[in-house]
Structure 1
Amino acid sequence: MREVRLSLFGFGNVGRALARVLVGKGSIFRERYGLEFKVVSIADTSAVVWLPEGIDLREALMVKENFGMLSSWTNEYEVYSFTPEEAVREIDADVVIDVTNDKNAHTWHLAALRDGKAVATSNKPPLAFHYAELMREAERRDLPYLFEATVMAGTPIITLLREGLKGDTVEMIEAVLNATTTFILSRMESGLDFEGALKEAQALGIAERDPSGDVLGIDAGYKATILHCLAFHPVTFNDAHVKGIVEVTPEDVKRARERGRTLRLVAMVEDGNVRVEPREVPLDGPLAVESHENAAVIKTDLLGELVIKGAGAGLKETASGVVSDIIKAALKV
């Protein structure tokens, strides 16, 4: 049995879902992989809790859910006010896990790699803006830098592109990568206007209080940029052409339906070209997804069209992608 020390950054919904998986499936990971995971630190926006002997995740979940912040924790746990970069350098861990929304996290991802630590992340902006630098550092150090949950949550499109198409040349990817816009466009088909559909999505917790990242196409643009980096060569989000759904009208939706089609926010990824915009897709086609599903059509020279479809959002689904990366990293470090 090999002990693997984890340092977890982010203890919001995804971080807590990940903790529940580590608690609930610990025995399976021991039996299947010979790995004993020990979380030695957890950070939220209020504090860093650090215990080299390992944190009781059940107690951590209870504190966070009852008090809302880790800084409320006492008992035998030391509570620190480290910045993420300070925590990465100070805390002895094998794998650094980032499930935050920190847009500047690439700085402490690089610090972790330079300190000999693997990284597993669901955080999109570091890769959408700094993919080349991060991957170069990971390769130089021969360390895993893994990011399955950045695109399509736990549906393994990243693994497919990184490992599954070794002999193929990818020619194009078309994908629907944002579930919030899919929900809004679906509700507009039922007669709501954009504002009404957005309010309903917010009331159900599908859209954020500030929905701009979704409805302006930024989230899908981040994901499409990452896919381009994998399938072709590194670019940044600044190279992408992104248009969201805020200008879509009920009339646009109605006209599409009359033609036997439906509107979705579609990412088009070709060599040197990343575009995200509302497009009509056939009702019986793979991109006419519903609810929280995502779908991608990958066109290659050998396979032709390959469709990958599955959950693109959700707490357990995102945790699935992160846990898979943690296990991959642990088996290598």
Structure 2
Amino acid sequence: MDEVKLSLFGFGNVGRAVARVLLEKEKLFRERYGVGFKVVSIADTSGTVWLPEGIDLREALLVKETFGKLSSWTNDYEVYSFTPEEAVREIDADIVIDVTNDRNAHEWHLAALREGKAVVTSNKPPLASHYAELTEEAKRREIPYLFEATVMAGTPVIGLLRENLLGDTVERIEAVLNATTTFILSRMEMGLDFEEALRQAQRLGIAERDPSGDVLGIDAGYKATILHCVAFGPVTFDDARVKGIAEVTAGEVRRARAKGKTLRLVATVEKGRVAVEPKELPLESPLAVSNNENVAVIWTDLLGELVIKGAGAGLKETASGVVSDIVRASLRKA
């Protein structure tokens, strides 16, 4: 049986969700894939815990959830003050996992690839700005660089485009890719104004304390850019035309409903074009999703219209995408 060494960067909500899946499904991975995982390092903003023999994930989760930071872990473990790039060079690992929000992570993703380490990430900005450089480096070295969880969490739209539609020519993609804006617009349809709907989303943990990435369309723009890169070829986020929902009024929502339509933040992706903007949709449209659902409608020359819909947010859902990529990278490196 192969033993695969993992180096985990980010131990917030998503990082801990990934750790729980690795714990809970350890037996399944061994029996189904013949792979055992050993987490040799975990990094949060307070430092990096590194143990070549493997870290006790249960204890790591307990320390983080009790004290809020890994640097509080003093028994049996030394906490290092590595930069991410130092860590990927110093720590012996097979797969580097990035579930951080580090906008400059492309630098240490490249360092990991050059060290012969596979990379699995849910971090969107590096791909939205440096897709060509990252994927070309991975291809040159024949090393997995996987990023399913960057778009639609665990709903496998990236895998569909990269691995399944190999005989099809993708003509266009339309998608709703941000669950926070869908929640806000849904609540506005129930009579709340934008600010009230946003506050409710923040109370429920659906919107961040700083919601600008969602309501200004930046998050959806990153995801739409990545879809273009996979389906049509490299562009960057700077090439995208993005308008969010911050200026949508209660009156606009009411008028759409009066016409039997709904407003959603829609990404349109065509060769050479990425656009994100609020659009009126018929209620029967596959894009008229609710709650935390994401959806992509993909048109190809052979299949015609293909709809893929599922959870686009949530800890378990994002962990699903990350862990699937970890398994996939492990099997490719075996």
Q: Which category describes the TM-score, using the shorter chain as reference length? A: over 0.9
Following superposition, the deviation at residue 75 of structure 1 comes to 1.3
Q: Does 1:304 align with 2:310?
A: no
Following superposition, the deviation at residue 332 of structure 1 comes to 1.2
Instruction: Point out where structure 2 has 5 or more consecutive residues left out of the alignment.
Output: none
Residue 35 of structure 1 aligns with an amino acid whose one-letter code is V
Alignment correspondent of 1:227: 227
Following superposition, the deviation at residue 260 of structure 1 comes to 1.0
Following superposition, the deviation at residue 74 of structure 1 comes to 1.0
Where do 1:46-195 residues align within 5 Å?
Answer: 46-195=46-195
- Following the alignment from structure 2 to structure 1, what is the Cα–Cα distance between the partners of residues 230 and 258? 37
- Following the alignment from structure 1 to structure 2, what is the Cα–Cα distance between the partners of residues 258 and 268? 25
Following superposition, the deviation at residue 222 of structure 1 comes to 0.1
Q: Does 1:26 align with 2:26?
A: yes
- Following the alignment from structure 1 to structure 2, what is the Cα–Cα distance between the partners of residues 280 and 44? 41
1:68-115 Cα deviation digits (max 9, x unpaired): 000000111121000000000000000000000000000000000000
Name segments (4+ residues, structure 1) moved above 2 Å.
none
Following superposition, the deviation at residue 2 of structure 1 comes to 0.7
Cα RMSD of the aligned pairs, angstroms, is 0.4
Residue 128 of structure 1 aligns with an amino acid whose one-letter code is A
1:134-184 Cα deviation digits (max 9, x unpaired): 001000100000000000000000000001101100000000000000000
Alignment correspondent of 1:254: 254
Question: So what's the TM-score if we normalise by structure 2?
Answer: 0.99
Instruction: Point out where structure 1 has 5 or more consecutive residues left out of the alignment.
Output: none
Residue 55 of structure 1 aligns with an amino acid whose one-letter code is I
Following superposition, the deviation at residue 285 of structure 1 comes to 1.2
- Following the alignment from structure 1 to structure 2, what is the Cα–Cα distance between the partners of residues 304 and 201? 36
Residue 255 of structure 2 aligns with an amino acid whose one-letter code is R
Alignment correspondent of 2:217: 217
Q: Does 1:323 align with 2:290?
A: no
- Following the alignment from structure 1 to structure 2, what is the Cα–Cα distance between the partners of residues 248 and 108? 39
Following superposition, the deviation at residue 233 of structure 1 comes to 1.0
Count of residues paired in the alignment = 333
- Following the alignment from structure 2 to structure 1, what is the Cα–Cα distance between the partners of residues 330 and 77? 25
SS at match of 1:319: helix
SS at match of 2:18: helix
Following superposition, the deviation at residue 284 of structure 1 comes to 1.1
- Following the alignment from structure 1 to structure 2, what is the Cα–Cα distance between the partners of residues 305 and 255? 29
Residue 115 of structure 2 aligns with an amino acid whose one-letter code is D
After the TM superposition, which of the residue ranges 71-80 and 58-67 deviates more from structure 2?
71-80
Following superposition, the deviation at residue 8 of structure 1 comes to 0.1
Alignment correspondent of 1:203: 203
Residue 162 of structure 2 aligns with an amino acid whose one-letter code is R
Alignment correspondent of 2:266: 266
- Following the alignment from structure 1 to structure 2, what is the Cα–Cα distance between the partners of residues 112 and 148? 18
- Following the alignment from structure 1 to structure 2, what is the Cα–Cα distance between the partners of residues 233 and 150? 17
